[in-house]
Structure 1
Amino acid sequence: MSDDILSIIPTDPHWQPARDVAERTTAIMADLAPGEPDGVDAEVDVTWHDNVAVIDCGANLERIGCPHCGASIDTKWWKDLLEAHLDEGFANLAVKTPCCGADSSLDALEYAWPCGFARFEIAVWNPQRDWFSDEELAVLGAVLGHPVRQIRAHI
């Protein structure tokens, strides 16, 4: 069985909110992404990472582009990099692009289906919606105390 996960993360990969603020934001997010029509609530998980973790889009990933030369970056390079940091996360996001050797950052790569990096994530499993609107993201960011972005994964 496959799952869809709609997550919000802070725009700054290192930022984390206070716990009470995270709880309020989680409650609002749960209201915005109701569960199944039969009344089963959507599962909402809050994750605090010690180091920066990848929040990827799973099988939705179509392409990774280099922000410097525009070339397509091999997804095998990406997957190998993620696997190497699976347990400990990322101390920093600095990387040399494999296409042109430019100094860059993992969060600056151009992902076809958004991917991100964060030390904090709120994830709704199998939401009955595709994306949050810009207005909803603004509300979630205001309650959280930091701008947010969204990632939609299919696993």
Structure 2
Amino acid sequence: MSDDVLSIIPTDPQWQPDRPAAERTAALAADLAPGQDDGIEVEIDVTWHEALTPVDCGANLERIGCPHCDASIDIEWYADLLETHCDDGFATLAVTVPCCGAATSLDALDYAWPCGFARFEIAIWNPERDWFDDDELATLGDTLGHPVKQIRAHI
């Protein structure tokens, strides 16, 4: 069985909220992403990560582009990088891209389906919606105390 996960992460990968702000934002996310028609509530995980952790789009990832030369970056290169850091996260997002050898940041790559990195995440499992609109994202960010972005994964 597959799952869809709609995650909310801060736009600054290092930023983390305090617990009350996180709890208020998770409650708001639950209100904005109601459960299934049969009354089953969505599952929401709120996580503070010790290190920078990938929040990727899973099977939704179609392409990764280089911000320097606009070439396609092999998705396997990215997958290998994530696997290398799956247990301990990333100390830095600095990377040298394989296409042109430019130094950049993993969060600056052009992902076809959003991906990100964070030390804080609100993950909504199997929401009955695809995305939050811009106004809802702004409200979630205001409630959290920091601007946010969203990642939709299919796993």
Fold in common (TM above 0.5) = yes
For the residue of structure 2 that corresponds to 1:80, the secondary structure is: helix
Counterparts of 2:40 and 2:81 in 1: how far apart (Å)? 37
Q: Which residue in the other structure is 2:16 paired with?
A: 16
For the residue of structure 1 that corresponds to 2:135, the secondary structure is: helix
For the residue of structure 2 that corresponds to 1:135, the secondary structure is: helix
Counterparts of 2:82 and 2:151 in 1: how far apart (Å)? 17
Q: How does 1:115-134 map to 2 (within 5 A)?
A: 115-134=115-134
TM-score calculated relative to the size of structure 2: 0.99
Correspondence 1:137 to 2:142: no
Q: Which residue in the other structure is 1:25 paired with?
A: 25
Counterparts of 1:118 and 1:37 in 2: how far apart (Å)? 32
Q: List alignment gaps of at least 5 residues for structure 2.
A: none
Q: How does 1:38-117 map to 2 (within 5 A)?
A: 38-117=38-117
Displacement, 1:35?
A: 0.6
Displacement, 1:105?
A: 0.2
Identical amino acids, percent of aligned pairs: 73
Displacement, 1:11?
A: 0.2
Question: Deviating runs (4+, > 6 A) in structure 1?
Answer: none
Counterparts of 1:138 and 1:6 in 2: how far apart (Å)? 16
TM-score calculated relative to the size of structure 1: 0.99
Counterparts of 2:61 and 2:140 in 1: how far apart (Å)? 25
Give the letter aligned to residue 136 of structure 2: E
Displacement, 1:61?
A: 0.1
The alignment of Structure 1 onto Structure 2 pairs a total of residues equal to 155
